[in-house]
A and B are shown apart, each in its own frame.
Chain A
Amino acid sequence: MSDLWPRIEPLLASVERPARYIDREWGALHPIDPDYRVALVYPDAYELGMANQALSILYERLAAIPGVAPERAFVPWRDMAEQLRGNDVPLFTLESCTPVGEVDLLGITLPYEMTYSNILEILDLAGIPLRSDDRSDSDPLVFGGGPCAFNPEPVAPFFDAILIGDGEEAIAEIVATHRAGRAAGASRSAILAALAGVSGVYVPSMYDMTSGVAVGRDGAPDRVTKRVLADLDSVRPPVSPIVPFMDVVHDRMTIEVLRGCSRGCRFCQAGMVYRPVRERSSDNIVRDVLAGLWCSGHEEVSLTSLSTADHSQLEDILRRLSRRLEGSGISVSLPSLRVDAFSVDMARMLGGGRKTGLTFAPEAGTQRLRDVINKNVTEEQLLATVHKAFSAGWHRIKLYFMIGLPTETDEDVRGIGALVQKVLDTARESVEPAKRGGIRISVSVSTFVPKSHTPFQWDAQVTPEEVRRRQEVLRGSMPKRGVDLSWHASGVSFLEGVFARGGRELADVIEHAWRAGARYDAWTEEFDLGRWISALEACGVDPSRIASRERDTGEPLPWGHIDVGLSVAYLRIERERAREAITTPDCTFDECTGCGVCPTLGVDVILGGGGRE
């Protein structure tokens, strides 16, 4: 293996933020004489990738396998990419400065659709052929996985294999299968065929896509069922993670306290594909938070999940942690709170006693539309929570909404402004007159993008022109003072919608746009919609047929061969109930809703009640 450091070092004087490329962080591993190297690559800049918990989990799981060296790589910023190309230096792993093209396994996360152009940037900088079909035995095995793997088709030709679902257990099986194949002198295609036999692994090259339906060849299963870690407590979360020098997003210790969410919000892909709910026990959470803070030296810990406030033991956990961390200056935070589960006592235990901003997500402006999306939150609950928070001394609040939801009318859009006005009035009434001027309500309004494996997967996405019109309606309805309003650019949401539900035909489009200079599309200042429209035209793909068209529920879907355990009948029924604005309860607290996940995957809901310290 070649160590590229002597060739990298001279480039660092002329690039921004060289800390992205130097390794040597606390917790980075440098095993001696590994015989199998894995490059874990996040398709964005270091400061975003280092916040990714999946990479941190896989890094630790890989390090536990004898002879295996997990290493990291990120997409170099444009200035560094230019330096690398100009000096003929390939993309390298941080830990050993090995060329990424020389590792055994290259794992690329699929965190969000707008990183797709960066996947090609990684492969090209590494000198690896962009398409699986063009790779030889000397190239690394290119694996994908992560949230976007649930509709893998747009990027399928760039990957040798893609893992669907939880990686904790699958990663070791993948490495073992690859090593065994190589030890036996098997060809690349034979190794891929063996990998197709690992539960949860999808090998795109082994599928024929005729008339929109995937058919597996040579023993590859017609449907790939997602991997699921049945018991979160069976795998300890990383408590000695890499501690970045650089100021990264979410620069804090994180402990995942539960996985999955069955609130059943009909727009939410994560809530559908990560079922069932599996809580970690409170004893384990308290133990791991304290161990993680001790090992990392972080000044803040976040208890993460899709809906942390839903953890059945949360108050107990926060009480124990605030007692243990008293006087240390270390604070505990949660990603967001639930309107219907907010308590001032709980909020006081967060943020190290500081009254930091509170975040709530009512999602829609009218009760009718909240019922359509199954967001079981009422206006009364929201206003009661606002009253409690502002009376107790908070003076800032952030609210998340969406526009473009199915069945939305202008009345619903104006309803957002009306609801924000009521929140503002309630907040003002809850504080002394002298403090009313300091009240701020941040309102963030995203555009709904229908996603695969949700009850809205058949629905039409609102066109960019209509989004812009509704954004104007929204602006007109918003109170003029005391509110900071922000929304998403309509072009980005449109493209996200195309990738979210498109098929393999989009791979050509992604390659075309990347060749035309598309990189870092998730960064507002780097995104160029025109470049993507030209690429779509050049490849003869009509994006509105993918994003803006309502599908018949019998139509084959590009992700039809990806099985997350949900029955199609459940999704259809949920869609019908949405049309009728009928809500569905959460099976964690109520009876089974028949989504199909538990029987199909052989798992069950796990709640974390248990012992005390």
Chain B
Amino acid sequence: MSNGMFRARITYPKAGRLRFLSHLEVTNACERAARRAGLPYAVTQGFNPKMKVGFGPALPVGTGSTCERFDLWLREYVPADEVLVRLQSASPSDLAPSEACYVALRAPALTVSLTIAGYDVETGESGSAEDLQGFLDAVVKTGELVVEHKGKQKVFELTSTLPKEPTVRSMNGRVVVDITTRMSERGSLRPEALVMAAFERSGTGGSVLSVTRTHLAEEEEAVRRLL
């Protein structure tokens, strides 16, 4: 009974107010939605039986997304479109899934396979898109970025962290930076840290209004698509 026979992969957003949730809060909410959906979820074996699920790379509090993923193991086959509809009707709208499909039982865990993430960083009072592009390029050219988080310093080596040059575009009167990062076990660069470093370099400052993850990809897929 406990071993999941089917592995559904769900894509869902983290939108609106719910971008203020922590990773743990999001994963709990998804599990509860799966229970409310009445799906025949599998349960782990052992001392403390739990729903068998696996989530993709964590998002920080405040960062939104259009493309989060989790795997849900099922004891019985349920057509993917039915999985989707049942989860949608049992989820808060800002977390309601947009896609469901089945993947191989032996596919690697999402945290292992998903290494490339793209973000839109929306800025405020940042000057022109061209100027910001120049400052970002200058930061990238230095080759590394030192980020302070909770009192600890972390050094990101930018050639490997940024598989693609950040680009700046204007959208509805707002300046938006498109940043793609590579995540590793040594940590993930918060894209707003790169933008803030560019603001610092400009001397005139600026602010980050919102950060949204817009794509998540496996290494090979990203290389094919981006490079």
Contacts and interface: CB of A to CB of B under 8 A. Distances in A.
B29 interface: yes
Contact of B32 (A24, A26, A352): A26
Contacts of B62: 12-13, 18
B150 to A, nearest CB: 13
Contact of B31 (A22, A293, A299): A299
A576 interface: no
Contact of A294 (B33, B36, B48): B36
B212 to A, nearest CB: 15
Given A12-B20, A329-B43, A329-B49, A245 B25 contact: yes
Contact of A245 (B16, B29, B44, B47): B29
Contacts of A247: 24-25, 28
A246 interface: yes
B182 to A, nearest CB: 26
B134 interface: no
Given A19-B20, A245-B21, A327-B43, A24 B35 contact: no
Which of under 10, 10 to 19, 20 to 34, or 35 or more describes the interface residues of B? Answer: 20 to 34
Interface string B1-45: 100000000000000111011101110110111111010000110
Which of B20, B25, B28, B94 has most chain A Cβ within 10 Å? B20
Contacts of B22: 19
A294 B34 CA distance: 10
A9 to B, nearest CB: 8
Interface string B193-224: 00000000000000000000000000000000
B32 A18 contact: no
Chain B CB count within 10 A is highest, among A13, A245, A295, A354, for A245
Given A296-B32, A299-B31, A22 B49 contact: no
Contacts of A295: 36
B80 interface: no
Contacts of B162: none
A562 to B, nearest CB: 41
A308 to B, nearest CB: 23
Contacts of A24: 16-18, 92, 94
B145 interface: no
Interface residues of A, number: 28
B109 interface: no
A26 B18 contact: no
A352 B24 contact: no
B48 A354 contact: yes
Interface in B153-208: none
A179 B174 CA distance: 48
A517 interface: no
B43 A328 contact: yes
A279 interface: no
Interface in A240-259: 243, 245-247
A384 B21 CA distance: 48
Nearest to B93: A24
Contacts of B24: 247
Contacts of B34: 297
Interface in A309-363: 327-330, 352-354
12 contacts: A18-B62, A19-B21, A22-B17, A22-B18, A24-B18, A26-B36, A295-B36, A297-B32, A298-B35, A299-B51, A327-B1, A330-B35
Return the 7 tightest CB-CB contacts between A and B, nearest first.
A297-B32, A297-B35, A297-B36, A18-B20, A329-B43, A22-B17, A245-B25
Interface of A: 9, 12-13, 18-19, 22-26, 243, 245-247, 293-299, 327-330, 352-354
Given A26-B36, A329-B44, 4 more contacts: A22-B18, A26-B92, A247-B24, A299-B51
Interface of B: 1, 16-18, 20-22, 24-26, 28-29, 31-36, 38, 43-44, 47-51, 61-62, 90-92, 94
